[in-house]
Structure 1
């Protein structure tokens, strides 16, 4: 999880042992064995699905410009697919990974090689299972170093550490989900949060399960932070130490100092930390943010930042985390995130919009005679709860297979209403279907995501596959198309792949649809995705020879 960084020569330990990066672009080969392993946390042992027997899984280390081949062999009892979260996969949706969107899953006993190029990206991303709730244990970091000779646009760190935040259930996660689904209700919440798979000493029976990093006084460290939790946005802070945010979602930002960060599921954040305090042991802590009237697992995961030479008997101090419902901190923190926007790293914000989309985010209830209350909870965009197909959408699109999906997803909700007014608890029936939107190649798109008070307001982190986008505006209440666009930041808005729609508010994003294929758009809270809070875009091929979807690989898993 840690690496020394002397000058600009980087040596890493990956799953294949010692890897040296030559000056030119290279081919990086990794092998992922999906296997079940018995793991114990907090005095509860259970079999979990892992990659190479590790939890979290191995870190992928590459350089910008590399070609990556990752062979995945499935030895588990579940079907499997892996998503390389934030990798743009230009023309190559076959390597994107979401089950039944760009590929059918890898069945037990079978293999598939994800083959893709890392082009025009550098920074911290991650990978995770993209089927069922298996990403609870099947996930890891994906670190892209800059091209040789290209320095970071911030002070060179002495050493780097990856921190992956997760959740732990004492029971089998898939059993927990099935139980909730059968009742038509949310499944039981997790029993602990974790840092690099370890809950930390604030939990009873934590034994040796605490992640620690050792630092030396006067040196600067880079933390690559990933929220791999299934359902919780998290605050994170280090006792006594400020952090300087320098990157989110593998895009450099204007640096700013903060006592705490907010990170939603699916997001990554790079921070610099200076070891400039009195030598000692300091807790690093992560705890959920929830400003809606909903129950969550509010337990705090903790790791330790320890100065060299300090004995383990020295008691650590706890950081000041924002209150769990501190909306003001959340909005203020996100407002500070801005693209670096330099000549080398420009913010190419679309100024003219070809297609305006307005999607409402809401909950609903449909009839379910076998469920506990005779109804089941659903989630929807524009009152449509997405139904997963049995044939992957990209295959249906590429091979022109009829009857798999419809391209009639509405650009705006069927019936406008006071989206964030009093809670609406009646007439919550929701349409269902495999309906997606079609977008012309190279057109510019503005999408406004509007939270609603159907049952309850709530924050939703939305992830768009195949693209980064610019977060040009956000606000609380109902989006006003006459007034709010005038307040947009079109100069240096933050660029990312996953964005939080604030509780009872809206977020506007812009992107250029220059990557042909079928690309998933979904809430990154696993609970809501399972309830249907998702859709996809079919981006048409362009006129050029290099502007169409590549042919599928020969080992693409069959449906």
Structure 2
């Protein structure tokens, strides 16, 4: 094979039979298929040192389950994405500052619901109530607790239409316990969770008319965004915000003040 690129940069081409690839490295190689077509040819890989000791199994049970029904709704006649009938609208004052300094008027202090009535919700049809509310409330999660997020996809405001969403979590990583098509069954589907060696990531797809189950340990203090990584979906409200371990966050510098109600904190 002829190596022509390494980590995004062209290199002086060279020919080799073996290539050592370390963690995070990438190469582009060219192979000319000019040998006898009646034979089989193999490319093999071998790990010089495995890192099994670093693979963490998830906690066997969770302390809290948040079921997030993903829908498309109308707000003032315009389409928005929603979770449990709430479309995220970010406040002018940063959450972390508002929480540390107890600026309660900066955002809605009423917590969003942990679940929607998905057992009676028809995920394959346009909701009878097409309207949602715009909300900047947040989930308050106990520090070092284990939380499950069940992402449930449903129909949009168009008949027979559901979309793929790519959910991304800031500040934390989660185990992907399982996924499936149709409506999530809390009795049946939880039995098929992979609790032995599930992959740990911070981004996961949610497929049309399907569900995805995540588990994470809230061990990174702060205020974190969990949202669809399709940008216009996020700007149309597909996301939530959660707080964990706020008491462990140190004093905030005045240099980050200046937005929303924080302007009053830096005026002489």
Q: Compute the TM-score of the two structures, normalised by the length of structure 1.
A: 0.39
Q: Could you tell me how far apart the structure 2 residues matched to 1:159 and 1:550 are?
A: 44
**8 Å Cα contact 2:173-2:200 kept in structure 1:** yes
Deviation at 1:362, TM superposition (A): 1.0
- Which residue is equivalent to 1:161? 7
Give the counterpart of 1:491 among 196, 206, 226: 196
Distance change in 2, residues 1:277/1:522 (3 Å): same
Aligned equivalents of 1:279, 1:217: Cα separation in 2: 15
Q: Are the structure 2 counterparts of residues 279 and 213 from structure 1 closer, same or farther at C-alpha, using a change threshold of 3 Å?
A: farther
1:515 matches 2:220: yes
> 1:216 offset after TM fit, Å?
3.2
Task: Say whether 1:525 aligns with 2:230.
Answer: yes
Does the 8 Å contact 2:154/2:209 carry over to 1? Answer: yes
- In the alignment, the residues of structure 1 paired with residue 185 and residue 27 of structure 2 have an alpha-carbon distance, to the nearest angstrom, of 40
Residues 393, 489 of structure 1: alpha-carbon distance in 2 compared, 3 angstrom cutoff = same
**Which residue of structure 2 aligns with residue 411 of structure 1?**
114
The Cα shift of 1:276 comes to 6.1
Higher helix share: 2
- 1:366 is displaced (CA, Å) by 2.5
Paired residue for 1:473, among 154, 178, 194?
178
Count of residue correspondences:
237
Are 1:365 and 2:74 counterparts? yes
- Alignment of 1:430 with 2:132, yes or no, is yes
- The answer to whether structure 1 residue 397 and structure 2 residue 99 are counterparts is yes
Give yes or no for contact 1:158–1:220 (8 Å, CA) kept in 2.
Answer: no
C-alpha offsets along residues 252-274 of structure 1, whole Å, 9 cap, x if unaligned? xxxxxxxxxxxxxxxxxx68667
Aligned runs of 1:75-86 on 2, under 5 Å? none
Give the secondary-structure state (helix, strand or coil) at the position aligned to 1:428: coil
Q: 1 or 2 for the larger relative contact order (CA 8 Å, sep ≥6)?
A: 2
Offset from partner CA, 1:328-375 (integer Å, 9 cap, x none): xxxxxxxxxxxx8711x12241212101110011101232xxxxxxx2
Question: 1:467 Cα shift?
Answer: 0.4
The alignment status of 1:216 with 2:14, answered yes or no, reads yes
* Residue 355 of structure 1 pairs with residue 64 of structure 2: yes
In structure 1, C-alpha distance between the alignment counterparts of 2:183 and 2:13, rounded to whole Å: 47
**Partners of 2:216 and 2:203 in 1: how far apart?**
13
Unaligned stretches of 5+ in structure 1? 1-156, 163-210, 223-245, 248-269, 281-339, 368-374, 543-547
Q: What is the aligned partner in structure 2 of residue 386 from structure 1?
A: 88
Cα deviation for residue 418 of structure 1 reads 3.9
Question: Any unmatched runs of 5+ in structure 2?
Answer: 35-49, 260-268
2:4·2:10 contact (CA, 8 Å) conserved in 1?
no
Secondary structure at the counterpart of residue 215 of structure 2: strand
Given that 1:387 and 1:532 are in contact with CA atoms closer than 8 Å, whether structure 2 keeps it comes out as yes
Q: Contact 1:220–1:273 (CA<8 Å) still a contact in 2?
A: no
CA distance in 2, matches of 1:554, 1:159: 46
The answer as to whether partners of 1:341 and 1:492 remain within 8 angstroms in 2 is: no
Partner of 2:123: 420
Q: Is 1:346 aligned with 2:48? A: no
Aligned partners of 1:215, 1:505: CA distance in 2, in Å? 46
Identify, as 1 or 2, the structure richer in strand. Answer: 1
2: CA distance between counterparts of 1:530 and 1:518?
A: 19
Deviations along 1:158-179, one digit per CA (max 9) or x if unpaired, are: 97414xxxxxxxxxxxxxxxxx
> How many angstroms does 1:463 deviate by?
1.1
378 and 341 in structure 1: CA distance in 2 versus 1, 3 angstrom threshold? farther
1:450 is matched with 152
- Residue 310 of structure 1 is matched in structure 2 by none
Let me know the Cα RMSD of the aligned residues: 2.9
Task: Find the residue that maps to 2:190 and give its secondary structure.
Answer: helix
What is the CA distance between 1:470 and its match in structure 2? Answer: 0.6
The superposition leaves residues 306-339 of structure 1 with CA deviations (integer Å, 9 ceiling, x where unpaired) of xxxxxxxxxxxxxxxxxxxxxxxxxxxxxxxxxx
Kindly name which structure, 1 or 2, has the bigger radius of gyration based on alpha carbons: 2
**What is the DSSP-based 3-state SS (H/G/I as helix, E as strand, rest coil) of the residue aligned with 1:216?**
strand
Relative to 1, partners in 2 of residues 1:274 and 1:159: Cα closer, same or farther, differing over 3 Å?
closer
Contact 1:221 1:272 in 2 (8 A): no
Distance 1:488 1:555, change over 3 A: same
- In structure 2, do the counterparts of structure 1 residues 272 and 552 end up closer, same or farther at CA, with 3 Å as the change threshold? same
Q: In 1, distance between residues paired with 2:192 and 2:117?
A: 27
TM-score (norm 2): 0.78
Cα 1:341–1:365, aligned 2, differ >3 Å: closer, same or farther? Answer: farther
Counterparts of residues 237-248 of structure 1 (less than 5 Å): none
